Amino acid sequence: MKRKVFLLMGIVTFIPLFLWGLNLMITRGYLGSVMLDIYESDRDASAIFWTDVENP
């Protein structure tokens, strides 16, 4: 029973810390200029996954 309680406590504390760290990495530009631009301009994040290349 103690093991389950510790596991639950670990999960409950890990998730907010992970999200906080991810937010810091995005806002400080550690994940690249594209992510920082999307964060600052409130664009749709689906733009990350599109790789449109204009053909000549």
For the stretch 18-27, pLDDT in tens is: 999 888 888 8
pTM confidence score: 0.56
Give the integer Cα–Cα distance in Å for 47 and 38: 8
Domain ranges, ordered by start, for the chain: 2-40
Sign, CA dihedral 23-27-29-33, equals: positive
Residue in 35, 13, 14 with CA at minimum distance from that of residue 24: 35
For the stretch 41-53, pLDDT in tens is: 766 666 556 555 5
Give the integer Cα–Cα distance in Å for 33 and 49: 15
Q: Where are the alpha helices (DSSP H) in the chain?
A: 2-27, 33-41
